Chain A
Amino acid sequence: MSSGEGGRPLAEIIELPDAQARSEANLRGPARVPRPTARRRRPTACQPASTRVLSGWGRTAPSVATVVRPADGRQVLELLARASEPSDGTPGSGSHPSQLAPAGRIIARGLGRSYGDAAQRAGGLVVDTSALDSLGPIDPDRGLVEVGSGVGLDALIRHALPKGWFVPVTPGTRHVTVGGAVAADVHGKNHHLEGSFCSHVAEIALATPTGMHVVGPDGAPEEAALFWATAGGMGLTGVVVSATVRLVPVETSWMLVDTERFDDLDTLMATMEASDDRYRYSVAWVDCSARRGPLGRSVLTRGDHAPRAALGTGRRGRRAVALASPSGLRVPLPAPSRLVNSHIVRAFNEAWFRRAPRHQTAALQPLDAFFYPLDGLGDWNLLYGRAGFVQYQFAVGPDGGELVRRAIQSTTEAGAPSSLAVLKRFGPSDPGPLSFPIAGWTLALDFPVGPPGLPGVLDRLDEMVAEAGGRVYLAKDARLRPELLGAMYPRAAELLAARLSVDPTLSLGSDLSRRLGLDDLGRPGDDDPGPGGGLAGA
């Protein structure tokens, strides 16, 4: 693709240091608050000016890439075309080791809220989508809105709520982009009834090395296949440029919430099984740090959007759709050493449990307090200190309740109790081959990196999850072994097929895709002895 046709030449959109500062606000992770080391002098040999250290929300496994911030879809296409060109063909250059590196040189990045290595590419190009920020008008009949993939759910909610609309699915933070929500096919508290994000997307514009594809679930079979491969495809099919999302109508920005406290896991899970389906939104928080008493004291909150009538006519009624402004509280710097230690975790969980009413029905709660309790704390991930933290989230079928118990028990016994645990029921999967949710249970556990027993106990949990027909959530993962991917995601080959149809050289790839071998499943040439073969013993 030539650079002349109206778009700026590619070289200009590769960010230079001063422009970098501006986009800094859009790329979270260690880049915003550099690790102390990142400020030091860099080796001149391998560090062009626009390179950045990137990691996920967990701040583990950082890698360095060139960050590019295209202004529009055309520039995205240009970048992809450039990245899929065969590497420098000058004779002799093929002997340089980096030229033998596996394919996959470019990946999209939204707000970096995935916990692991999904939105980074060591030594490659990372497409910062923050300039793809268009917000279309909302179709007043069906709630359809076309938005740029770099738009945050926060901005979309601010745009839509005053007009009486809300996002159809939201994760536990509103600081994710629409592109990230599509690529991870994110789920919310309403999954058991309303499915995941892409079930509410009518169409996406997907930029790939072979051009722009506008695809939706209702298109021709191969278009629908590309759409669903992108849903949960972790950015590997291309860069989503925009998406048309079906919003849901709401009358107020308040929620009507029922809260219940439980002293043990069994009663909690039985209650969720029996009555979750009567609530649109449902989620439980489980205390893994309590030293005494039965396993799993917990708080279950369930509710729905409050109708206008529930607010009465007072001041609250008038402010019905004003979204409370985000708290100004932020964690300023990476904690020098971990502030999330076992005492603080225990105190926090204790306070959370005690604050919750034993049983309360139809309490009014502001929407952001209900959906985004953690957003008030800003960059809370920095509290985990330099080594960072991992989140372990898995899904298992309806009979997998025992695994939920085992996961909490085994990590606690290994001296690594989860600092935060969230339990939820999932409804049926959507058709995406790598979409995470499967009908049953999902448990998310947070662990600071550090306890020596943690890596091993998580590896064993992986095996139990795979054995039980479950899977871990790739948007949270930074440590799964590739051997188990196929068991957890038996349809992974469909993703590869869709990728090859639009990206024959597999120029899209991330640290995650390389770590999990997603780029080489059944790839032609897999049986080759490899470039090292001839050199053995040389």
Chain B
Amino acid sequence: MLDAFGHPQSALVLGGTSDIATALLGALVADRCRTVVLAGRDDGRLRAAAARLADAGATSVETVTFDATRPEDADRVVARCLAAAGGQVDLAVMAVGRLDQPRRDGLDPADVAAVATVNFAWPAAALASLAGHLCEQGQGRIVVLSSVAGVRVRPANFPYGAAKRGIDAFALALADEVAGSGVSVHVVRPGFVHSKMTAGRRAAPFAVTPAEVAEAVRRGIERDERIIWVPGFLRWVFVGMRLLPPALWRRLPA
């Protein structure tokens, strides 16, 4: 169950090998989370992450594999994860995501389709499924890793940004949909995070570590915040970014 501060005793991560999610889970397990389900595409790395959480004190860690390029499977994957958690889960984290390939000559339609699927179609389908199950439980929290990339989509990685904008909007609408059901949805909007997703890319200003995102999410859940910016002042930076005229926006360094 969730305690008075919103701290979970059980958690499920879709994208269980994500650097940000593993940092968050580490913090939750160090607190009072004992049951964990990690779902991802690579069994070996999932098991390694599971072993680390077990060492840190989780008493039950299960893994489930899936492929986020197949949104038609999302519902079944979620059901399998919940079963692995023993039928119910206090906190579910949606961490699935990938950047688009660096562009050489124009957009690659196949890559755009894959990015849209992995960042939007699969997560949206899975969130719909999760919300249904959690409402039935009568209590639960859903954390969705969105991004500032979706707040104002930048030319540099706009297929990713556009898909993130979609999942951000979907999650916020879902938060309204489930209000009053004992379930809440929290949308996390980090800036640049040093993780394997951004490895080899030039860090943007105000870059943070996965551990910093984890701490911000923990505090945000405690305070029942619907949108969690990391770092917090990006909220104000993006008030300005949204107002920039397109000509200026295009010329911002990538």
Residues of A within 8 A of B (CB): 34-35, 37-43, 45-47, 51, 53, 58, 60-65, 95-102, 116-117, 121-124, 386-388, 390, 449-450, 452, 454-455, 478-479, 481-482, 511, 514-515, 530-533, 535-538
Cβ contacts under 8 Å, B179 to chain A: 37-38, 40-42
Cβ contacts under 8 Å, B114 to chain A: none
Q: Contact: A100 with B132, CB < 8 Å?
A: no
Interface size class of B (residues with CB under 8 A): 35 or more
Count of A-B contacts with CB under 8 A?
160
Q: Contact: B138 with A100, CB < 8 Å?
A: no
CB distance from A445 to the nearest CB of B (A): 14
A450 CA / B4 CA spacing, docked (Å): 11
Cβ contacts under 8 Å, B32 to chain A: 481
Q: Contact: B3 with A531, CB < 8 Å?
A: no
Cβ contacts under 8 Å, B18 to chain A: none
Q: Contact: A530 with B177, CB < 8 Å?
A: no
Q: Of the 9-residue stretches B81-89, B151-159, B186-194, B241-249, which lies at the interface with chain A?
A: B81-89
| A-contact bits for B141-180, CB 8 A (1 contact / 0 none) | 0000000000000000000000000000000000011111
Q: Contact: B43 with A537, CB < 8 Å?
A: yes
A498 CA / B128 CA spacing, docked (Å): 41
Instruction: Mark out the residues of chain B between 26 and 60 whose CB falls within 8 Å of any chain A CB in the assembled complex.
Output: 31-32, 37, 43, 46-47, 60
Given contacts A455-B5, A478-B4, A481-B32, contact A45 B132 (CB under 8 A): yes
Q: Contact: B132 with A97, CB < 8 Å?
A: no
* Selected contact of A97 from candidates B79, B135, B219, CB within 8 Å: B79
Cβ contacts under 8 Å, A481 to chain B: 32
Q: Contact: B5 with A100, CB < 8 Å?
A: no
Q: Contact: A63 with B88, CB < 8 Å?
A: no
Cβ contacts under 8 Å, A452 to chain B: 219, 222
Q: Contact: B139 with A537, CB < 8 Å?
A: no
* Selected contact of A532 from candidates B6, B83, B177, B223, CB within 8 Å: B83
Cβ contacts under 8 Å, A95 to chain B: 79, 83
A388 CA / B176 CA spacing, docked (Å): 21
Residues of B within 8 A of A (CB): 1-7, 9, 31-32, 37, 43, 46-47, 60, 62-65, 79-80, 82-88, 131-133, 135-139, 176-182, 219, 222-224
A34, A116, A515, most chain B CB atoms within 10 A: A515
7 closest Cβ pairs, A-B complex: A532-B84, A100-B87, A122-B138, A123-B138, A46-B135, A101-B87, A97-B82
Cβ contacts under 8 Å, B139 to chain A: 61-64, 122-123, 511
Cβ contacts under 8 Å, A455 to chain B: 5, 7, 31, 222
A503 CA / B181 CA spacing, docked (Å): 29
Q: Contact: B83 with A122, CB < 8 Å?
A: no
Residue of A nearest to B82 (CB): A97
Residue of A nearest to B132 (CB): A45
Given contacts A53-B182, A124-B138, A535-B80, contact A101 B88 (CB under 8 A): yes
* Selected contact of B177 from candidates A43, A53, A62, CB within 8 Å: A43
CB distance from B7 to the nearest CB of A (A): 7
Cβ contacts under 8 Å, A482 to chain B: 9
A426 CA / B64 CA spacing, docked (Å): 52
Q: Contact: A62 with B182, CB < 8 Å?
A: yes
* Selected contact of A40 from candidates B138, B176, B224, CB within 8 Å: B176
Given contacts A60-B4, A387-B224, contact A535 B83 (CB under 8 A): yes
Given contacts A452-B219, A511-B139, A537-B43, contact A102 B180 (CB under 8 A): no
Q: Contact: A538 with B64, CB < 8 Å?
A: yes
A117 CA / B2 CA spacing, docked (Å): 10
A511 CA / B223 CA spacing, docked (Å): 21
CB distance from A273 to the nearest CB of B (A): 33
Q: Contact: B86 with A479, CB < 8 Å?
A: no
A53 CA / B60 CA spacing, docked (Å): 30
Q: Contact: B138 with A58, CB < 8 Å?
A: no
Given contacts A37-B179, A99-B87, contact A532 B62 (CB under 8 A): yes
Q: Contact: A530 with B63, CB < 8 Å?
A: no
Q: Contact: B83 with A100, CB < 8 Å?
A: yes
Cβ contacts under 8 Å, B138 to chain A: 51, 63-65, 121-124
Q: Contact: B1 with A386, CB < 8 Å?
A: no
Cβ contacts under 8 Å, A102 to chain B: 86-88
Residue of B nearest to A481 (CB): B32
Q: Contact: A61 with B2, CB < 8 Å?
A: yes
A394 CA / B87 CA spacing, docked (Å): 33
Given contacts A43-B177, A63-B182, contact A514 B137 (CB under 8 A): no
Given contacts A449-B5, A455-B7, A511-B1, 16 further A-B contacts (CB under 8 A): A43-B131, A45-B132, A46-B132, A46-B135, A47-B135, A53-B182, A60-B4, A63-B139, A64-B135, A97-B87, A101-B88, A121-B138, A123-B139, A388-B4, A535-B64, A537-B64
A47 CA / B178 CA spacing, docked (Å): 10
Q: Contact: A97 with B88, CB < 8 Å?
A: yes
Q: Contact: A479 with B87, CB < 8 Å?
A: no
Cβ contacts under 8 Å, B46 to chain A: 537
Cβ contacts under 8 Å, A41 to chain B: 176-177, 179
Given contacts A45-B132, A97-B133, A98-B136, contact A64 B182 (CB under 8 A): yes
Q: Name 27 A/B residue pairs within 8 A (Cβ), A-sorted.
A: A42-B178, A42-B179, A42-B180, A43-B135, A43-B181, A46-B132, A47-B135, A61-B1, A61-B6, A62-B139, A62-B182, A63-B1, A64-B138, A97-B79, A97-B82, A98-B136, A116-B4, A122-B182, A452-B222, A478-B3, A479-B4, A479-B5, A511-B139, A515-B1, A532-B37, A532-B86, A538-B64
A38 CA / B182 CA spacing, docked (Å): 9
Residue of B nearest to A450 (CB): B223
B46, B137, B182, most chain A CB atoms within 10 A: B182
Residue of B nearest to A456 (CB): B31
Cβ contacts under 8 Å, B3 to chain A: 60-61, 478-479, 515
Residue of B nearest to A123 (CB): B138
A122 CA / B136 CA spacing, docked (Å): 9
Q: Contact: B87 with A64, CB < 8 Å?
A: no
B2, B6, B37, B219, most chain A CB atoms within 10 A: B2
Q: Contact: B82 with A43, CB < 8 Å?
A: no
Cβ contacts under 8 Å, A121 to chain B: 138
Cβ contacts under 8 Å, A65 to chain B: 138
CB distance from A56 to the nearest CB of B (A): 9
Cβ contacts under 8 Å, B223 to chain A: 387, 450
Q: Contact: B133 with A98, CB < 8 Å?
A: yes
* Selected contact of A45 from candidates B1, B43, B135, CB within 8 Å: B135
Cβ contacts under 8 Å, B178 to chain A: 42-43
A450 CA / B225 CA spacing, docked (Å): 12
Q: Contact: A100 with B180, CB < 8 Å?
A: no
Cβ contacts under 8 Å, B180 to chain A: 34-35, 37-40, 42, 47, 53, 64
